[in-house]
Amino acid sequence: MILEHNETDGVVTLTWNDGENRFNADSVKAWHDTLEELEQREDNFALVVTGAGKFFSNGLDLDWMSSHTDDAVNMLAGVHSLFGRMLVFPAYTVAAINGHAFAGGAMLTCAFDHRIMREDRGFWCLPEVDLGLPLTTEMFAVVTANLPLRTAQEAMLTGRRYGGSEALGNGCVEATASAEELLSAAQAVAASVAGKNRAVIARHKAMLNSTAAAACGWPVPA
């Protein structure tokens, strides 16, 4: 199972457990299917997403894309729309960044309402300048939706790797925690919001993020 699901006291926790947690056709479909199911719920809840092992997400599965060239364009469009979908997901969202968040994985964290990163290991990084792969317009939209402009500029132009304390100091995340406390800290933040009105949260997130979400290819109702 790519996304493992459990729920306690109104907090839904998804664990992305697929090796390096890269985006390919299977993982993108799993993400959209899971979010669609959650969106249809009528009760109030908050969402926590974490990874497993060394990675939160290592971004696009470039090996998969090179061996599935006919499907790669559609898969990438699915990644773009996932970013937009998360930006306006109708519940409060918390990323528990357990390990490396590189490239598309770092971009995904920018679509969350709150980010907590492991303090002692793992990097947050946009390495596209080193890879020779410029961000797409959609990627730029999600990166700049919640990052301070100066941090987005530095991350995009230098490929800097931010450890936990650096990520916190530069606004990539809102908090850090030890490996042992990371998930519980994220769930505590989510629990503090889980009972609040999701319809209002959804409306407010649309006000905040609809422009970026639309740029990512995810339409937001008026």
The share of the chain scoring above pLDDT 90, in percent, equals 97
Q: CB 34: neighbour CB atoms within 10 A?
A: 17
Please indicate, yes or no, if residue 150 is contained in any of the structural domains.
Answer: yes
The share of the chain scoring above pLDDT 70, in percent, equals 99
Question: How much is the average pLDDT of 207-221?
Answer: 93
Mean per-residue pLDDT of the chain: 96
Q: How confident is the model at residue 6 (pLDDT cuts 50, 70, 90)?
A: very high
Cα-flanking dihedrals φ and ψ of residue 109, to 5°?
-60, -30
Kindly tell me the number of DSSP H helices and DSSP E strands found in the chain: 10, 12
Q: How confident is the model at residue 2 (pLDDT cuts 50, 70, 90)?
A: confident
Please indicate, yes or no, if residue 118 is contained in any of the structural domains.
Answer: yes
| pTM of structure | 0.97
Per-residue pLDDT, 222: 67
Asked if the model's pLDDT at residue 1 lies above 70, the reply is: no
Please indicate, yes or no, if residue 220 is contained in any of the structural domains.
Answer: no
Q: What is the CA radius of gyration of the chain?
A: 16
Please indicate, yes or no, if residue 222 is contained in any of the structural domains.
Answer: no
Please indicate, yes or no, if residue 194 is contained in any of the structural domains.
Answer: yes
Please indicate, yes or no, if residue 10 is contained in any of the structural domains.
Answer: yes
Please indicate, yes or no, if residue 111 is contained in any of the structural domains.
Answer: yes
Please indicate, yes or no, if residue 155 is contained in any of the structural domains.
Answer: yes
Q: Where are the beta strands (DSSP E) in the chain?
A: 3-8, 11-16, 22-23, 46-51, 55-57, 59-60, 92-97, 100-102, 114-118, 124-125, 161-162, 175-177
Write the CATH number for 162.
Answer: 3.90.226.10
**Residue 79: which of 57, 94, 99 has the closest Cα?**
57
Asked if the model's pLDDT at residue 102 lies above 70, the reply is: yes
Residues spanned by the domain of 169: 3-215
| Number of structural domains found in the chain | 1
Q: How confident is the model at residue 220 (pLDDT cuts 50, 70, 90)?
A: confident
